[in-house]
Amino acid sequence: MARTRLPVNGRTLAQLAAATTKTSAASVVRRVPFPYRPPTVPAGVEPKRPEPKTGGNYDTEWARSYPARLARVLLVEGLVRPAVELLAAPTIKGVDRLLDTDGPLIFAANHHSHVDTPLLLSTLPEPWRHRIIIGAAADYFFGSRLTAPVSALVIGAIPIERSRVSRKSSDDAAALIDEGWSFLIFPEGGRSPDGWGQPFRGGAAYLSLRCNVPVVPIHVEGTSRIMRKGSKVPKPAPTTITFGTPMWPTDDEDSRKFAARIEAAVGQLADETATDWWTARRRAHRNETPSLQGPGSVGAWRRTWSLGDRSPKRRRAKRAWPDLG
Amino acid sequence: MPRPGFVLEVDRSTPPILFHHGEQFRLEKLPPGRSRVIYPAEPLEPLEDIEGAIRDALLNPLGDSQPLPSLLKPGMKLTIAFDDISLPLPPMKRPDVRQRVIEQVLDIAAAAGVDDVHIIAALALHRRMTESELRHALGDRIYDAFAPHGALYNHDAEDPDNLTFIGATDRGEEVEINKRAAESDLLIYVNINLVAMDGGWKSTATGLSSYRSLRHHHNVQTMQHSRSFMDQHKSELHSSNWRMGKVLRDSGVKVFQIETTLNNDVFGQDGPMSVLQKREWEWGTRDRLAFLAMKKGLDKLSPKARRQIFHSWKAPHNVTSVQAGEVEAVHERTTSHVYEQHLVPIEGQADILTMGLPYICPYNVNSIMNPILVMCLGLGYFFNLYRGQPLVREGGVVIMSHPTPWEFHPVHHPSYIDFFEQVLADTTDPKVIEDRYEKQFAEDEWYRHLYRTSYAYHGVHPFYMWYWGAHGMQHVGRTIIVGGDTRAVRRMGFMPASTLQDALEMATDVVGRDATITHVHNPPILMADVT
Amino acid sequence: MPETARPTARFVGVPNRAGRRVGTGAPAGPDGCERAGGDGRVKALVFERKPAKYAAAMAAGKLVPGGGAKVGPLRLRGDHDVPDLPGPGWHYVKPRLAGICGSDLATIDGRSSRYFEPIVSFPFVPGHEVVADLVDPGDPKAEPDGSYRVVLEPVLGCVTRGIEPVCRFCERGDLGNCVNIAFGGIEPGLQTGYCCETGGGWSTLMIAHESQLHRVPADMSDESAVMIEPAACAVHAADATLSEPVVVLGAGTLGLLTIAALAHFHPGLEIMAVVKHPEQRRLAKLLGAHFVVEPSELRRGVRRWMGSMAFGDGSIDNVTDGVSRVYDCVGSSDSVQTAMSVLAPGGELRLIGMAGNVELDLTPLWHKEINLRGAYAYGYEDRFERRTFDMAFELVQAKDLGRLVSATYPLSRYEEAIGHAATAGARGAVKVAFDLRDEKERNR
């Protein structure tokens, strides 16, 4: 029988194929020459690392384009809001305090739960609700290529570095505020680990000072009952969101002092929610507002124990009016 | 820069003039050559920083009053009284100025360590305010903080245990006011001075008083000698209240008065209703379309639906001034602010005064404008919005436009129904009515019960409405209501007319063929300064 | 009060007709009533037993008040039989005026209750408010012109029926309560005008028993005289024993007459009248009402009048302490219900209007312990120790009630007449009557 002649390179391949039958696939790859594989680095040389596209560097510009904003409005109004209504049944208080204000605002809220964000997104008053950016932890929300675009689109988040002061984060945020975007930030820098608040960081105060925009303190109550840090399945529970009066930094305040004042304001709102406005005001003037951070320097059990006092039952006045007979 | 009010001489190029007509409108051609239209001033610029202005007023009071913080001490009894649902008209958009003022007052009180605070709706013999009305006026924070503890409530002028007799004036007028207010270390009264009648000593002496006290100035004699009751210096109503104020002051009742004024921005600068406060020749295409759509749309609706739409309107009028301190010093400053917005000078009286009555008056907020209130709004309020002399000459004719339905709100106005069905069927003469019926109605247990426990105006209130028109009824020769329900209009002793032209014809046998006409283009509110 | 004061003596001398009356021998009519003989020369409106027509009248009456006259069993006949005199004491009378009564209208429009069925006999000539001429009185007391006018007291009690001894009610003079109205010498019929044998006022000739006749004084007009019978009903109903205020519901003929009777016989009694129409308002005032209100204003009016409390938040469902007596001259479900809502506990609701079938919530009756009491016809008024009819004569003259006759019609225009009577209030009328004085059949 007659054998056709193979071309030269055909022969090479045939030889290669014959070789593979004898060795592993890995050995073939190893034998692939340089242009076909990454170079090796010579000793003593530090190559320049490419900038990661996730985390603090994730570019969210596209999420503020009109199609994305429209999609977000639809998502928030059509999906998030009904879900929040079912899950959190929010009572919203103090919106009238914002009525004298226009232009961008920085909303600073306490933080207990992942529910806080959708809750606030769907309850912030107009016109701010649909022109809002959320400062979200760069490592948590923008950590992967999957979560980053979701965070950007769904909650309109921009990444904020919480582990270190990042110039880029604050520059980005400031630029957006200057453009007229409002900013929602949780100055505690993360969800409460134990139900008590954490010290407020300076971000909101810094942005306020830098962009000359007032800060609106917000107290969110009840979301820890829905889903606290660590829990996986949300349980429906009623919530109360109390908006405070917009605050301007005074002339002699730096961002640290201002942040402390914002924290105090949120504390007073918490007091207002737990008792009533008049009681809260009187305690505030006497410097007796209960701290958001709970009792310090006591045993852990006592912190947890006193947490019980703070979860206000639904206050329902039995009789709104004196009995006139 | 808002333009001041002015008087238009109607000529052949003048477009038809807008008449309010209850929950509807009419466009009426006024006879050229002998008609004038008074237009109100455009809304004054509101304060830039209202909160700041309030704070400033509280810290720098007028007259011989100390700043508010130094009047407040721990352990004191503080009472805050505020104007009721009858002010302002229409109700203002949130936040209401009462809320702004009282929140600041309370914050200062909290800082001073005051614990014992009561907040009282000073409604005299008006109906009690509902929870939602109180929430609207004071905001949820105040309501939630005070109402559950019984520290925010409506004044009850029929609760003998909670009234204090203070004394009598040199003319024997008894002064009796709310006990809590009388016994407080400080009474803070928060006013909205919508018209020049409001405020001053009338706030406390009327708003927190009882029938025993009110009858001394809410009567025919006083009202016929108040010319007008909008002009404090020529108003017997005010003289009486001021005398009572003196008794209050001398007896040691300490009042810190806060008065606020609003601008004329009733229907907004833009939006569907804005056309109603524009001058007819300046109606652009959009305004005309909005007006037509509104008018045609309203025609299609039931009266009830129409009423609901109008009464849900919250006016964007905003604060133009805040005064605080000693009553009389405050009131003088406030009145000048009111005049600044309302006063329009006009020369000479007319033979015929025409007016288009809107859907609302002080006593039908969230309610029905019944025929008695129509009378009160026309011959009481609109007629009396003058300084100097009335807009219409003595013996002249008043033509008002309102559907005047024979309809009453049974919960709010029960005694009105009886007044209309029984008293007016007998006589329309205010003096006779006063002598023959007032006492019966004032002391009727059922009205008392409804006033105290439901949301009814006091039994005697319809009488006051009728007295409010006493000066007007005495002054004019004939009153005609255009488009009014025939039976209801007749019951009040007026004449119904189906069109303005008919009404003008009917007026000729009182004032002749070439009678001069003045039309007040109100609302927004204006006050004529007639020389 | 001594028994002897009762005027039963009046009936002494009326022949005792214990057996069946003397018949005429004429064959019995199709509806069982023995036809009177004589030559058919009476012009009369006759109401016959015709179920199909009655059903039509019911339907028509619901659509148009008085509509039953056109399609119903009522028809005008020029050849109605002259009734026979059933016995001694009976006379022929020629009606002059005959009123149209509310009960007549109910019959014509098919609204009357089945209750009446055994106490009427067909075919009958309606008309029980009658002023008539006594034919051939042969009485020297006749007027100089020979006329002798009478008013009919239409109840057909024991005496007229020849029943002896008379029932205990007739004995007392309370004719209206007679228990023998379907028995005795004549056919069933509670009154003249519902009995096939007596004829009725809506005709040119009828018969009446002498015990039924009241002579009309010469100076009294026919119009006044025709008001005597309804006035007697009102007088009987208005036997107030109270000095406390009362309410009269309705201002048709009966309502107005009740007001007049209350005002006349109980001076000082305060009366609130409830009227629907402007002309009624004027008349109510004129006849003695102190307050006049419209039906929708009644509850409020009573409450304010009595200074009472009331249930209902501003609008009134029930007055807690209302009036002690209400005279209901309407007799509808609405009027009775309203009356109960304005009565004080223990008060009395006097039903004067013929009520028929009504649907009621009787809770207030139970809770307020209201006495519900009817008022029918007339007889003897214990309180005044007088015959009701005598008092009615006095009332009609004192209040000049003849002016309440607003319109009269000849028999031939009976449809119009009944239509007018059925809508009298709205058309500013009170009493509508047939004027028979010029009927040629009568004057032949």
Residue A299: pLDDT over 90: no
| Residue of A285, A320, A324 lying closest to B110 (CB–CB) | A285
Q: Residue B220 sits in a domain of what CATH number?
A: 3.40.50.11440
Pairing of strands C431-435, C405-409: parallel
What percentage of residues in chain B have a pLDDT greater than 70?
A: 100
What total number of domains does chain C contain? 2
The answer for residues whose C-beta is within 8 angstroms of residue B350's C-beta and 6 or more apart is B36, B391, B392, B393, B396, B515, B516, B517, B518
> Residues B172, B121: one domain?
yes
Instruction: For B418, name the nearest residue in chain C, comparing CA atoms only.
Output: C300
Segment B238-290, tens digit of pLDDT: 999 999 999 999 999 999 999 999 999 999 988 888 999 999 999 988 999 99
Q: Quote the number of domains for chain B.
A: 2
Check CB contact under 8 Å for B421 and C301.
Answer: yes
C278: nearest CA in chain B? B487
The reply to whether residue B444 touches residue C315, judged by beta carbons under 8 angstroms, is: no
A323 touches chain B (CB under 8 A): no
Mean pLDDT rounded to a whole number for chain A: 80
Q: Are A155 and A121 in contact (CB under 8 A)?
A: yes
CB atoms within 10 A of CB C205: 24
| Pick among B55, B72, B141, B146 to test the A interface (most A CBs inside 10 A) | B141
pLDDT category at A7 given cuts 50, 70, 90 is low
Measured from the Cβ of residue A317, the count of other Cβ atoms closer than 10 Å reads 11
Are B459 and B488 found together in one domain? yes
Q: Minimal Cα distance from C300: which residue of B?
A: B418
User: C390 and C368 in one domain?
Assistant: no
C441 is a domain residue: no
The domain that contains B400 carries what CATH number? 3.90.226.30
Same domain, B30 and B84: no
pLDDT computed for residue A164 by the predictor = 63
* pLDDT the model gives residue A16: 56
If asked whether residues B30 and B58 sit together in one domain, one would say no
Q: How many domains does chain A have?
A: 1
Q: Report if residue A323 sits inside a domain.
A: no
Question: Is there a contact between B446 and C293 if contact means CB atoms under 8 Å apart?
Answer: no
Cβ contacts of C308 on chain B, cutoff 8 Å: 446
Q: How far, in Å, are A197, B207, B442 from residue B174 at the CA level?
A: 59, 15, 17
Touching A: B residues 119-138, CB under 8 Å: 131
Q: Tell me the per-residue pLDDT of B113-170, one tens digit each, with 9 for 90 and over.
A: 999 999 999 999 999 999 999 999 999 999 999 999 999 999 999 999 999 999 999 9
β-pairing verdict for A157-160 and A215-221: unpaired
Report chain A's terminal Cα–Cα distance, integer Å: 122
- Residue at A40 is within a domain: no
pLDDT score recorded for residue A15: 59
Using one digit for the tens of pLDDT, what is the confidence trace for B310-332? 999 999 999 999 999 999 999 99
Inter-chain CB proximity B159 and A324 less than 8 Å? yes
Residue numbers in A near B95 (CB within 8 A) = 96, 99
Query: What confidence category does residue A13 fall into, taking pLDDT thresholds of 50, 70 and 90?
Result: low
Interface contact B95-A94, CB threshold 8 A: no
Asked if A312 has any chain B CB less than 8 Å from its own CB, the reply is no
Whether residues B406 and B462 fall in one domain? yes
Residue that finishes a domain, picked among B262, B293, B319: B262
Looking at the complex, does the CB of residue B140 fall below 8 Å from at least one CB of chain A? yes
In chain B, residues 472-501 whose CB comes closer than 8 Å to chain C: none
Q: Are C203 and C265 found together in one domain?
A: no
Residues of C in contact with B421 (CB under 8 A): 293-294, 297, 300-301
What residues of chain A lie within 8 A of the CB of B137, using their CB? none
Per-residue pLDDT of A258-268, as tens digits, reads 999 999 999 99
Task: Indicate whether C25 and C134 sit together in one domain.
Answer: yes
Q: Percent of chain A at pLDDT above 70? A: 82
B292 lies in some domain: no
Chain C contacts in chain B segment 449-468 (CB below 8 A): 449-450, 454, 456
Determine, yes or no, domain membership for C57: yes
Residue B344's CB is within 10 A of a number of other CB atoms, namely 21
**Are both C319 and C351 inside the same structural domain?**
yes
First to last CA, chain B: 27
pLDDT of residue A41: 76
The residue of chain B nearest to residue C281, with distances taken between CA atoms, is B425
CB-CB neighbors (< 8 A) of C293 in chain B: 421-422
Rounded to the nearest 5 degrees, what angle is found at the Cα of B260, between the Cα atoms of B255 and B261?
Answer: 145
Give the number of A-B residue pairs with CB atoms closer than 8 Å.
58
* pLDDT for the residue numbered B463: 97
* H or E element that contains B521: none
Beta bridge partners of C214: C151
In CATH, what number is assigned to the domain containing residue C321? 3.40.50.720
Strand order in B517-520's β-sheet? B6-9, B35-39, B517-520, B350-356, B392-401, B478-482, B495-497
C274, C282, C304, C311, best to mutate vs chain B, most B CBs in 10 Å: C304
Identify the domain containing residue B383 by its residue range: 6-43+344-530
Return the half-sphere exposure (C-beta side, CA atoms, 13 A cut-off) of residue B139: 25
Q: Does residue C72 sit in the same domain as residue C193?
A: yes
- B409 touching chain C per CB within 8 A: yes
Residue C327 lies in a domain: yes
Any domain includes C444? no
Yes or no, beta carbons of A278 and B106 under 8 Å apart: yes
Q: What tens-digit pLDDT sequence spans chain C (444 residues)? A: 344 344 433 333 333 333 333 333 344 444 455 544 445 578 999 999 888 999 999 999 888 888 888 888 999 998 888 888 888 889 999 999 999 998 899 999 988 888 888 999 999 999 999 999 988 756 666 676 777 899 999 999 999 999 989 999 999 999 999 999 999 889 999 999 999 999 999 999 999 999 999 999 999 999 999 999 999 999 999 876 667 889 999 999 999 999 999 999 998 899 999 999 989 999 999 999 999 999 999 999 999 999 899 998 888 999 999 999 999 999 899 999 999 999 999 999 999 988 788 899 999 999 999 999 999 989 999 888 999 999 999 999 999 999 999 999 999 999 999 999 999 988 999 999 999 999 888 876
Shortest Cα–Cα distance, C35 to chain B (Å): 57
The answer, for B147 touching chain A at a CB cutoff of 8 Å, is yes
Residues 6+ apart with CB under 8 A from B408: B368, B370, B416, B417, B420
Residues spanned by the domain of A230: 55-308
Chain B residues lying within 8 Å of A272, measured CB to CB: 141
C300–B418: do the CB atoms touch at under 8 Å? yes
User: What number is the average pLDDT over the span B354-364?
Assistant: 96
Q: Dump pLDDT digits (tens) for B360-369.
A: 999 999 999 9
Instruction: Please indicate whether, in this complex, the C-beta atoms of A93 and B141 are within 8 angstroms of each other.
Output: yes
CA–CA min distance A100, chain B (Å): 9
User: Residues of B with CB below 8 A from A324's CB?
Assistant: 156, 159, 452-453
Contact: chain A with chain C (3+ CB pairs below 8 Å):
no
Judge: B449–C309 Cβ closer than 8 Å, yes or no: yes
Domain with C87 in it: 3-229+385-435
Q: Which of B50, B51, B135, B140 to mutate to test the interface with A (most CBs of A within 10 A)?
A: B140
Based on the domain organization, do C219 and C253 belong to the same domain?
A: no
Asked whether the predicted pLDDT for residue A129 surpasses 80, the reply is yes
Q: Could you tell me if C96 and C194 lie in one domain?
A: yes
Where is the domain boundary, C376, C395, C421? C376
Is B526 a residue whose pLDDT tops 80?
Answer: yes
| One-character DSSP codes across B57-74 | HHHS-BTT---HHHH--T
* B450 contact residues in C (CB cutoff 8 A): 313-314
Identify the pLDDT of residue A4. 53
A282 touches chain B (CB under 8 A): yes
Q: What CATH number is given to the structural domain containing C78?
A: 3.90.180.10
Domain end point (choices C358, C376, C394): C376
CA closest to A92 among chain B residues: B140
How confident is the model at residue C140, as a pLDDT? 61
B39 and B66 in one domain?
no
Give domain status of residue B73, yes or no.
yes
List chain C residues with CB under 8 Å of B414.
314-315
Determine whether the interchain pair C301/B454 forms a contact, defined as Cβ–Cβ distance below 8 Å. no
DSSP label of B262: E
Residue C251 lies in a domain: yes
Structure confidence by residue, pLDDT tens digits, A178-187: 888 898 988 8
Cross-chain residue pair B142–A277, CB shorter than 8 Å: yes
Dihedral of the alpha carbons of C377, C381, C386, C387, in degrees to the nearest 10: 20
Separation in Å, CA of B154 to nearest CA in chain C: 19
Answer yes or no: is C234 within a domain: no
B51 touches chain A (CB under 8 A): yes
Q: What is the ipTM of this complex?
A: 0.84
A244 has a chain B CB within 8 A of its CB: no
Task: Name the residue in chain B with its Cα closest to that of A286.
Answer: B111
Please give the residue of chain B at the shortest CA–CA distance from A276: B145
Please tell me which of the candidates B111, B113, B144 has its beta carbon nearest to residue A276: B144
Q: Among B262, B297, B325, which residue terminates a domain?
A: B262
Taking the Cβ of residue B130 and every Cβ of chain C, the question of whether any pair is shorter than 8 Å is answered with no
At C147 the pLDDT is 78
Are chains B and C in contact at 3+ CB pairs closer than 8 Å? yes
Domain C-terminal end among B210, B245, B262: B262
Neighbours of chain B (3+ CB pairs under 8 A): A, C
Instruction: Tell me the two tokens of residue A201.
Output: 């960081």
Please indicate, yes or no, whether residues C7 and C128 belong to a single structural domain of this protein. yes
CATH number of the domain that A159 lies in? Answer: 3.40.1130.10
